[in-house]
Structure 1
């Protein structure tokens, strides 16, 4: 990185690198930084810098995570079934049986969060040679990554690149 170059957006922190192999982890004023896997124990990853000038097309999607939504609905249904069964058959339990309602309620809240807050950003960059780089936020990190995505859009538009896709209303 040269003296006049600055980081525009950081998408992935170093402790989360294991989940984002072959994805764009940050963008500087002149380069995309892509995480690549190395076959080394000391340094399992390396960051490859690809010039932004090689980019020809950018696609953006704000999408839902169907797997997470499915498991959220499944968890909510399970917790509601358990609450119903406790209500109907709770009087027939043996004396001294304790039910941790707080833990069940916490599982219900987690299921609701998975079912209704599973949006994610997905950005794809098409390069001159036909290679496609991408970055996808983790499900549930949508609001936390909005600022990085908006800085990405601002920077790429000042460089004259057009972004395909519908932006979220908050950006």
Structure 2
């Protein structure tokens, strides 16, 4: 076990919640549902427990979880109101300092996506190699059916959670849960 995982497994419940909550974007109820499953054997075990809570959630709970995600290069980014995790993930692709044409294109795509699906576009940015791939994927997903997009969004959230768990608590793990997707 890693030192961070050992610590998570041994600290008080409120401290463990504070460590787990940032793994799922502004949805502490997910961490609440898994914190008492400690001790966790690995970062992958934490990720899978969090993902299982989301899969078992009601459609309304999932929609609420989707809706708290920040838009890519959106108002929350401009105002510095994103979580540290989202700021880092978006910053890696330069989404916090886009050229004006790309910024406008992303703003238009964000609005179209939200109008079509009722929540921000969610993608596991750690798997996106560059902005061109991001824009291509965004355009493709704008044309998905609501069911296809629900499935993809859940898979993307699962991938984000796994990445955040690896970064916070562990060694590299394989992305092997039931929520894999090719994006």
Larger radius of gyration: 1
Per the normalisation by structure 1, the TM-score is 0.26
The structure in which a higher percent of residues are helix is 2
